[in-house]
Chain A
Amino acid sequence: MSHHIVEVKNLRHVYPDGTVALRDISFRITHGESVAVIGANGAGKSTLLLHLNGYLTPTSGEIRIGDFPLTKATLPAIRRTVGMVFQDPDDQLFMPTVYEDVAFGPCNLGLSEEEVEARVEAALGRVGAGHLRSKPPYHLSGGEKKRVAIATALSMSPDILVMDEPTNGLDPFARRQLLGLLRDFHHTRIFTSHDLDMVAALCERTIVLHEGEVGADGPTAEIFRDDELLARCRLEKPLSMQGCPVCGKAP
């Protein structure tokens, strides 16, 4: 199924104030892959994500999502294909109740009322938040907000799921819950994160961004073994791959 492919070619982005956020980025993500985009602060992760959904326009270079190049004409179709989950759920949950929030996307797609209802039900059930449907979003805990935010993207039935810092600000239990949830998805998944243990647990492939360029692109396990690369890109091994903090024994 070619519509699950994300292809970025020589992407360059310069912000209006002259900051070069992305110099030259190229990669290709195929169907069903789970890919982490990691890098130091200011490496260009968020800028890259905003391109995948057409919110930012490349200064030069090309992006293809599935069969379409990303242009103004294909934007609605592409936004339907790519489900975005933003870092701060408060930005994503803007409707009066959880139900209306999850229904926002399907309603905009012009689906019938029964279809919208079915999709909301399915999406909320998927993230285990069915009991929250009539609650206003500001009454939810951080973990609940995050799960509902994911449901708002799922209700659009996207082929590709893009998430910015999914585990950010969650307590260990909520984080563990979220990892279990994300592991079960069979979409093409793209995450950015500083939570390298999450990356090690969820993503078989990792792209390291360094100063607006691809510093490395390969299997996650290999990348986390390359000490020189990690140091150069201001990263560290995931805690689970470091020695024991008490006895210093290697894992």
Chain B
Amino acid sequence: MGAIDGTVLDFKRLERLAMADTAVHRLDPRAKVLVTCAFIIAVVSFGRYELTPLFPFFIFPAVMIALGDLPPRYIAAKICLVLPFALAVGILNPLFDREVVLRLGPLGVSGGWISCASIAVRAMLTVGAALTLVGITGFPAICQALARLGMPQAFAVQLLFLYRYIFVLAEEGSRAARARELRSFGNKGVGVRSYGSLLGHLLVRTWQRAERIHMAMLARGFSGGFPLRRPSRFGAAEVLYLLGWSVFFIVLRLWNASQFLGALVMGICR
């Protein structure tokens, strides 16, 4: 639980990074959200055995990290945190899919391994792109952009509250876990059962807090509408950003740039 606490604190760092003022930070959030969506769609639309065409897509998060002045190691560490979940999805593929599709000298690589690797690479790409988006935009601005792009406001507000209170919830959760740990003296305590009631308490406390927040909202004239406004303009820079990246993704989707580059290098060598 302490680890979870640390992770959440780390998210605050991402939020602080989003407060920087670079050219990409200044772009309208809507453009950034749309480009990231296009990127994710392009990445996940590849077939299951396609691995090499995915690699050129790393250019996008790399360029964004560089332009947005984000710390690459930090983003990489965050991606590694999520990677085990992706591997859990793909790890059984090599067992079921043993047909050899690729020969690297004496080594035969089965389709299962390739599809597993493809899942992992895609996870890295999509999670990396999402983290970079938060790092150069900030979560509240993303919610606002989604609302302005037509997502119902109720969802936008839900997302916003989720993000605002995840810090509070994590603090409460880690306090409860610490209290449990301190009284279980390094043993398992009463085991899994204590976690059940711990989670139950957390739920009840969340419920009570929700009630108090609602009270505070009502006290300030809340009547269903939610004022989310931050001046931003969808100008020429945004159009250029959106079109440029979209065309780039389409080109990478239609032509295998790695293969092309490989052929080029081989051609020169010959």
Binds A, one of B68-76, B92-100, B177-185, B216-224: B216-224
Q: Tell me the residues in window 155-189 of chain A with beta carbons closer than 8 Å to chain B beta carbons.
A: 156
Complex-state Cα separation, A42 to B236, whole angstroms: 62
Separation of A108 and B222 alpha carbons in the complex (Å): 6
Tell whether A53 pairs with B219 under 8 Å between CB atoms, given A94-B164, A97-B140: yes
Which residues on A sit within 8 Å (CB–CB) of B215?
A: 50, 55, 84, 86, 91
**Which residues of the partner chain A approach B168 to less than 8 Å between Cβ atoms?**
90, 138
A50: chain B residues within 8 A (beta carbon): 215
Q: Is B140 touching A76 in the complex (CB atoms < 8 A)?
A: no
Q: Mark B209-239, 1 if CB is under 8 A from A, else 0.
A: 1001101111111110101100000000000
A117 to chain B, nearest CB (A): 11
Per-residue contact bits, chain B 190-207, to A (CB 8 Å; 1 contact, 0 not): 000000000000000000
B228 contacts across to A, CB distance below 8 A? 100
Say if the beta carbon of A107 comes within 8 Å of chain B: yes
Our count of residue pairs bridging A and B at CB distance below 8 angstroms stands at 73
Which of chain B's residues 1-48 have a Cβ closer than 8 Å to chain A?
Answer: 12, 15, 19
- Known contacts A88-B212, A139-B12: A107-B219 contact under CB 8 Å: no
Given contacts A104-B227, A136-B15, A139-B12, contact A86 B216 (CB under 8 A): yes
* Highest count of chain B CB atoms <10 Å: which of A76, A80, A105, A153: A105
Contacts A88-B212, A138-B12 given; indicate if A105 touches B161 (C-beta within 8 A).
no
B218 touching A55 by the CB < 8 A rule? yes
Residues on A with C-beta less than 8 A from B217 are: 94, 104
Query: Which of B138, B164, B216 has a CB less than 8 Å from the CB of A138?
Result: B164
Q: Which residues of A contact B12 (CB under 8 A)?
A: 138-139
Q: How far is the CA of A104 from the CA of B161 in the complex (A)?
A: 14
Interface residues on B, range: 20 to 34
Name the contact of B161 in the complex, choosing from A80, A84, A94 (C-beta under 8 A): A94
Considering only CB atoms, which chain A residue lies closest to B228 in the complex?
A100
A91 contacts B164, CB within 8 Å?
Answer: no
Is B58 close to A, CB under 8 A? no
Q: How far is the CA of A175 from the CA of B227 in the complex (A)?
A: 32
B221 touches A156 (CB 8 A): yes
Interface membership of A34, Cβ < 8 A: no
How many whole Å from A50's CB to the nearest CB in chain B? Answer: 7
A68 to B217 alpha-carbon distance, docked (Å): 22
- With both chains docked as a complex, state the minimum distance between the C-beta of A96 and any C-beta of chain B, in angstroms: 3
Nearest residue, chain A, Cβ from B212: A91
* A105-B140 contact, Cβ under 8 Å, with A86-B212, A138-B12: no
**B216 lies within 8 A of A91 (CB):** yes
Nearest CB on B from A132, distance (A): 13
Is there contact, CB below 8 Å, between B221 and A92? no
| Interface residues as binary, B226-270 with A (CB distance below 8 Å gives 1, 0 otherwise) | 011000000000000000000000000000000000000000000
- Nearest first, the 6 A-B pairs at minimum CB distance are A96-B140, A107-B227, A108-B221, A105-B220, A91-B212, A84-B219
Which residues on B are within 8 Å of A, measured CB to CB? 12, 15, 19, 138-140, 160-161, 164-165, 167-168, 209, 212-213, 215-223, 225, 227-228
Interface residues of A (CB under 8 A from B): 50, 53, 55, 76, 79-80, 82-84, 86, 88, 90-92, 94-97, 100, 103-105, 107-109, 134, 136-139, 152-153, 156
Q: A79-B221, A108-B225 are in contact. List 10 more A-B contacts (CB 8 A).
A: A55-B218, A84-B215, A86-B216, A91-B212, A91-B216, A94-B161, A94-B164, A94-B165, A104-B220, A109-B221
